[in-house]
Structure 1
Amino acid sequence: MGFQVLITVIFACLFVTCDGLYKDNKYGYIDRPTSDDVQGDQVKDKPVFQQQWITQKLDHFNGADSRMWKQKFLVTETYYRTGGPVFLMIGGEGPINKQWMSTDDGSTWLTYAKMLGALCFLLEHRFYGDSHPTIDLRTENLQFLSSQQALADLAHFRTVMAEQAGLTNSKWVAFGGSYPGALAAWSRMKYPNLIHAAVASSAPLHAIVNFSEYLEVVWRALAAENPDCPLLVKMAFDTLHELIKHPNNYENITKDFNLCSRLQIRSEKDRACILSSLADSVMDTVQYNNDNRAFERVLATNCTIKTVCEVMSDPSLGNPYHRFAAFVRLRTTTYLLQPCFKDPTYNEYLEDIRNTSYSGPSSGGERQWMYQSCTEFGYFQTTDSPNQPFSGFGLQYQVEQCQDIFNISYQTLYDGAKQTNENYGSYNIRATRIVFPNGSIDPWHALGITSSISDDLPAIFIKGTAHCANMYPARAEDLPQLILAREQIFQLLQKWLKEN
């Protein structure tokens, strides 16, 4: 009986955001589908994978709780050779994107699978996409949303697949980028009997509430393109921050940035909300600079750091404030193909993210990821450092959202991040056979492993690349160091798969 038939037999029984925090569906390699190219279980008439479901426990850590739910996964045996390894790509804080299972697009993990004869799974994270453990996203239900529960899902998935499909003796390799990259590393550390090796790309392994270093990396990335660029952005934002304090400027600001509605500032949080949203135009551009995300059908992939700095250096556009406004308009209309820049008030943001329905405006991942940020990780990208170009959205604004949305206190937030580091080891992870690729332009590298811990815990720091760059399909214009990094990862996989 072939593996494809076995899988069928087994389971026949069985965003309005204010602050740019939610970047792991922006900020992760797996993005929500963005076009009509994805239909059913195939991509543009390429039936290379199957969609299946596995039964999981709601609470893996309570033997008395018998509640169950169905978790979605995709599988392809296109490249599988008998006796080959099993690759497990881990989903993150959004729906799994079927483009990552399209062999014709050549995403790097499938390129490795082709060379090594691997069977490939892509497992969706609980509470994201179609994987609904509870009937809705009420806060009392989100107590079952955590990295530890997600890792237990991975362990159970691996056990069931191995037993039912004859893969007990196969070597399993976990792959992930960004938060799923951290899960890949932690799965190898927590379940070394189940996961043989891991590729943890752009993985933020250190939980921190005040992640002010994020914007420090943004400054350095802009300066690497043009030393004057971050200074000009700072001048522009300082001007904006001053103008936005006075209601008589609201009409002009609305026109300058082509806002979808007239600017309304009724509270300090409204002010922080619009400032963080406008800053995210640059933050998001830096984070994904020159990443080959086009195969995901993601927009704005051609908007780069070079675009930012060219606009900010153009005197014909006026002073730095007007240049920054021109960049926001350019990115909004030309690259994102939007008629105007959405400018929610803080109360509008709260109304959306407090909606607990799986069909709500923030159910694609914003509400869930904010809960994980408030309970486990922090990761709040604040303007509290003097060595960055923005202002107006400091730590207090960020952490008060946890109180306003989930009634989670400041102390609980800090305790959660501390517990995460105690549980997984932060920068001092102790394991073997994990590789940590990171890009120097990616702001998230500040929370990752960028220097090798040992021969069995190597870091690959890729100068000039951004978030999860090594995971995307190769192309002719790739930097030599990115090409070399992909090859180094492959060599490590070859070596580790020979080890017991």
Structure 2
Amino acid sequence: MFNIIRFSKIFTVIFLNLHTINRFGHHELTNEKLFIRQLDAGKNEIKNIQQPVDHFDAKETRTWNMTYIQNLEFWKPNGPIYISIGGASSYKTQLNIFKKGFFLYDLAKETNGALFGTEHRYYGKNTPLSNTNTENLKYLNSRQALADVAKLIKHVKSKLKAENSKVVVAGGSTLGNAGNLAAWMRLFYTDIVDAAVSASGPVLAKADFKDFFEIVGENYLKYGTSGCYDKITKMFIRFQTLLSTPEGTKQLKKEEEICDFVNMSMKENQQVFFEFYLDKYILSAYVAPDVTYFEDECEKNFNDTNLESDLFLSKPDYVVRDEQGWCYNFDFFQLFNRKFKDCWLYQQCTEFGAFPSTEAGKHPFTNSLPVEYYYKACKLQFGPEFGKNRVEDGIKATNEMYGGLHPNVTKVVFVNGEFDPWRRLGVTENLSDDAPAFVIAKSGRAELLIHPYMDVDSDELKDARKKVKSLVKKWIGL
């Protein structure tokens, strides 16, 4: 059953990612005051560094203030410098890892290191340009983000008078490309980065990520209760059956509290509905602390929505108020045609793809969400030129630049979790002796970095932390 230790671990992950679960635009962290109170006062400093809007065009002279976190609690001269790279969320979602019991914090303590956390451009309060139009987002890409981190490294080494200090970068987040960026920092900046930890980094760009829901389905088939997988299949088949007739559609709208104004005969709106339900299973890859999570989920009523919890925790953009009260808005046009552009979706449409579709593969979710849904979303959000061809061109350029599943790197350790569907886009086999990779059994996304050490941790996770620490220390000469 669901004990207090397991609940604490799940709550930690959800709390770290309240900002990132919502995929339609970016809002500040829910209940921020409660979050900030968890910090160790006086040890973490929030600072800013001036960054170029464009690192690669000397004619572009505009700058912006990048936010970063600094912790010098254990720092001693010439000690190592650890850089935690931020993903697709504000710096606030990183603050909790700057506490006792988290991987990088404890590693800094063991080695007399300095610890820093970066905020990815465009995902925080300070940003190069506003995300109110597509033109402003042209500076949102991985190369610019890598250059931001490189400039920060040079800045802190100068401030600390630490020219001889070794630098270790680490990245792992539930949304975005922090794990990728860590590996790619070693690829492009070997002169200033000595080692890297890439946790759950989907380094391969791919448009139709149909493998995603295969892994989700495997998790429920392998670790769910008896009959759970079939129960999910029947639920999704029932949804499709209801939506195939006017009478069934009317019934579904009533059962699921869908707003009256939403035309559920439109296939795009139906696909929004299915994405909403699929997100419930996507979440399992991020918060499952052990295999009993899937058993607990299977024991619940899969067809039970909760307007109050969805409004507070996971999907406030789906929940609106009409004449009848609170209801779910699954209108494709309204959700994607917004003033503020979704920054992570922009990077998917221009660099990474990784659109989870259900058209093919062995899973219980039927063919409810085609990849074309995402292509339409790209075009509606950013303009008619951001369709399938733009996505595929961006993916090709990304893989050519970074090497896909075979980046030419050393002193990088690639760590993935068994529960994490993104591992299908990650490095899961050793590239060399100095670029090892392993998958942690019974582990979720980026657990190595974003989960605190707790009694509930599996032996596999504990062993992985020891291995990664040993590698990092060896690579920086400790």
TM-score by length of 1: 0.82
What stretches of structure 2 of length at least 5 have no aligned partner?
Answer: 1-16, 320-325
Tell me how far apart the structure 1 counterparts of residues 96 and 165 of structure 2 sit (CA, whole Å): 21
Matched, 1:33 2:22: no
Distance 2:315 2:154 in 1: 45
With over 3 angstroms needed to count, the CA separation of the structure-2 counterparts of 1:261 and 1:303, relative to structure 1, is farther
- Name the residue aligned to 1:109: 104
Measured in 1, the distance between the counterparts of 2:237 and 2:172 equals 34
1:309 pairs, out of 298, 306, 309, with: 298
Q: Distance in 1 between matches of 2:66 and 2:98?
A: 23
Residue from 381, 387, 396 that aligns with 1:405: 381
Paired residue secondary structure (1:152) = helix
Find out whether 1:177 has 2:172 as its counterpart: yes
1:304 partner SS = helix
**Corresponding position of 1:440:** 418
Unmatched 5+ stretches in structure 1 = 1-21, 292-301, 312-322, 357-361
Q: Which residue of 2 aligns with 1:470?
A: 448
Q: CA–CA distance in 1 between the matches of 2:153 and 2:242? A: 56
Instruction: State the one-letter code of the partner of 2:477.
Output: K
- Cα distance in 1 for residues equivalent to 2:296 and 2:231: 14
Pairing of 1:184-199 with structure 2 (within 5 A): 184-199=182-197
SS of alignment partner, residue 437 of structure 1: strand
Equivalence for 1:294: none
1:204-235 deviations in Å (ceiling 9; x for gaps): 00000000000010111111113632222112
Equivalent position of 1:278 in the other structure: 277
* Counterpart selection for 2:330 from 326, 344, 355: 344
The change in CA–CA distance for 1:329 and 1:465 in structure 2 (over 3 A counts) is farther
Aligned residues: 444
| 1:398 shift after superposition | 1.4
From 370, 384, 389, give the equivalent of 2:364. 389
- 31 and 116 in structure 1: CA distance in 2 versus 1, 3 angstrom threshold: farther
Is 1:206 matched with 2:195? Answer: no
Which amino acid is 2:78 matched to?
G
CA deviation string 1:347-367 (max 9, x = no partner)? 22023xx313xxxxx6xxxx0
Q: Find out whether 1:483 has 2:466 as its counterpart.
A: no
C-alpha deviations, 1:268-326, integer Å up to 9, x for none?
111111111112112212343127xxxxxxxxxx9932222223xxxxxxxxxxx4313
2:217 touches 2:363 (CA, 8 Å); kept in 1? Answer: yes
Residue 130 of structure 1 and its aligned partner are, at CA, apart by 1.7
2: distance between equivalents of 1:437 and 1:146?
A: 23
- SS of the equivalent of 1:417 reads helix
Task: Note the 1:200-239 alignment, pairs <5 A.
Answer: 200-226=198-224, 228-239=227-238
**In structure 2, how many angstroms separate the alpha carbons of the residues matched to 1:245 and 1:470?**
44
Name the residue aligned to 1:53: 48
Alpha-carbon shift at residue 435 of structure 1 (Å) = 0.7
State the alpha-carbon separation in 2 of the partners of residues 84 and 180 from structure 1: 24
Report deviation, 1:59: 0.9
After superposition, give the CA deviation of every residue in 1:433-488 in whole Å (9 maximum; x if it has no partner). 11111111111111111111111111121111111111110110111001101111
Mapped to 1, the partners of 2:355 and 2:19 lie a distance apart of: 13
Moved more, 98-107 or 489-498: 98-107
Residue 34 of structure 1: CA displacement? 3.2
Query: Quick check: 1:290–1:304 contact (8 Å CA) kept in 2?
Result: yes
Q: How does 1:67-216 map to 2 (within 5 A)?
A: 67-97=62-92, 100=95, 103-178=98-173, 179-216=177-214
Shift of 1:334: 11
Give the aligned partner of residue 16 of structure 1.
none
- How far apart are the structure 2 equivalents of 1:450 and 1:240? 36
Match of 1:296 in 2: none
User: Is residue 2:351 matched to residue 1:376?
Assistant: yes
Measured on the aligned residues, the alpha-carbon RMSD in Å equals: 3.0
Percent identity between the aligned chains? 27
Native 8 Å contact 1:250 1:263 kept in 2: no
Contact 2:94-2:117 at 8 Å conserved across structures: no
Give the match's secondary structure for 2:354: strand
Cα distance in 1, alignment partners of residues 197 and 97 from structure 2: 20
* TM-fit CA distance, 1:125: 0.6
In 1, Cα distance between equivalents of 2:435 and 2:20: 27
Pair 1:241 & 2:216 matched: no
Quickly say closer, same or farther: Cα 1:49–1:201, change in 2 above 3 A: same
Query: 2:476 aligned with 1:492, yes or no?
Result: no
Q: Secondary structure at the match of 1:270?
A: helix
Instruction: Give the direction of change, closer, same or farther, for the CA distance of 1:61–1:103 in structure 2 (3 Å limit).
Output: closer
